[in-house]
Amino acid sequence: MSHHLDTPLAAQSGQLFINDLFVFNGERATVFVMDVNSSVTKADIKRGFHAEARYEFKIHFNGGEFEELTYRVAFGEPDGTGKQTLMVYELTGADARDDAAMGTPVVEGRTGEVSSGGNVRIWAGRITDPFYIDLDQLATVNAAFKNGAKLDRSAWKADAAKNTFAGTTVESIVLEVSQDEPLLRDGTQIGVWCTTKLATDAGGWRPINRGGHPMMWPIFWPTDTDFSNPANARHPSNDLKEDGEEIASAVARVVAANGTAPDPQAYGWSVARQLYPDVLSYQVGTAANYGFAARNGRTLADNAPEAMFSLVLNTGVTSGLTPEVTKAARADAFPYVVPT
């Protein structure tokens, strides 16, 4: 589940911790963006991508329970200039969910450079983080969830909001897949999540982090700073069965305290079913938007905290921030991000 905040583990292995997932329409193509390794972990962060890890985009089709397309990105060790080689593999069908499957190499390149192959092009490297939030506001939401209490709006003022992540950076993988790709034709309904996996001494792969919807970890598990919650290692198909009750109960308590739902239990379960499985839904070729009323992919400009706070509290919650605060972190053309 996505996470930005400083933890002891992030300081050691930020390269493996997913900060954000974005899915949106590009230049006659679908764009998948995975951000990791936020500089919010301060000076001890290790730059670049982990050379013994896999970074994977998992794609489901038409509400399917399991992924049928995976794009796997692997990196080499940094050279003398800090650049790393990269390789993109495509895995389809049963191979898409098989760690032992090798996949088909489709692109070979280096970080900091645009590389193409077949229907795919990729850019990976350090960027200005397009995510924005005022962590003081998050603290008020966390307090309400922790105690099942009324949201204390007096503790934070929207007109004084500031972007806590101003000036921070992340490592980003931007993968663009043309709509000429048979599995990703215009109009196709997909569900997307991403994961990082680390090679084990036994020769297998250990799941480290996964991401779908934004803000899941900061809202529901803010004190789990060692990422011990099993959500990070399980498959999304098991989310509702194994964790739905926890999400539903947390939401029910807070909406009951705030009087924002006539049937708190029913609303809690409606939120659990919207967020689980933790997969980002998107219709290929359409305008993406991650909002309170509708969620169709997610753009770099979307106000994810505002949308998520409003959803889990069942009332409109302003963040005090607009996409303008990170306008300089976005570009109109590929790779759509701003390298640093």
**Residue linked to tokens 């309170």:** 292
pLDDT confidence of residue 13: 72
Decide if 3 contacts 13 (C-beta within 8 A).
no
Decide if 23 contacts 298 (C-beta within 8 A).
yes
pLDDT confidence of residue 136: 93
Q: What is the pTM assigned to this prediction?
A: 0.95
pLDDT digits (tens, 9 = 90+) for 111-134: 999 999 999 999 999 999 999 999
b/e per residue, 185-209, with b = 16+ CB within 10 A?
A: eeebebbbbbbbbbeeeeeebebbb
Decide if 255 contacts 190 (C-beta within 8 A).
no
Instruction: Estimate the crossing angle of helix 239-258 against helix 304-313, to 10 degrees.
Output: 80
HSE of 161, CA atoms in CB hemisphere, 13 A: 22
Closest C-alpha to 89, from 112, 66, 71: 71
Decide if 138 contacts 313 (C-beta within 8 A).
no
> How far is Cα 86 from Cα 68, in angstroms, rounded to an integer?
23
Peptide bond into 339 cis (omega under 30): no
> How far is Cα 157 from Cα 136, in angstroms, rounded to an integer?
9
pLDDT confidence of residue 7: 44
pLDDT confidence of residue 202: 87
CA distances from 307 to 216, 302, 304 (A): 12, 9, 5
Peptide bond into 218 cis (omega under 30): no
pLDDT digits (tens, 9 = 90+) for 44-85: 578 899 999 999 999 999 999 999 999 999 999 999 999 999
pLDDT confidence of residue 2: 46
pLDDT confidence of residue 41: 67
Report the greatest alpha carbon distance in the chain. 62
| Ramachandran class of 125: left when φ > 0, alpha when ψ lies in -120 to 50, beta otherwise | left
Residue 76 CA, distance from chain mean position:
23
Residues in the chain: 340
- pLDDT (tens digit, 0 to 9) for every residue of the chain, 340 residues total? 445 544 444 445 789 889 999 999 998 999 999 999 999 866 557 889 999 999 999 999 999 999 999 999 999 999 999 999 999 999 999 999 999 999 999 999 999 999 999 999 999 999 999 999 999 999 999 999 999 999 998 878 888 999 999 999 999 999 999 999 999 999 999 999 999 999 988 889 999 889 999 999 899 988 877 777 888 889 999 999 999 999 999 999 999 999 999 999 999 999 999 999 999 999 999 999 999 888 999 999 999 999 999 999 999 999 999 999 999 999 999 999 999 9
Q: Which residues does 241 contact at the CB level (< 8 Å), separation at least 6?
A: none
Instruction: Report the SS3 class of residue 176.
Output: strand
Decide if 54 contacts 36 (C-beta within 8 A).
no
Q: Would you say the C-alpha torsion 274, 276, 280, 281 has a positive or negative sign? A: negative
Residue 207 token pair:
């799941």
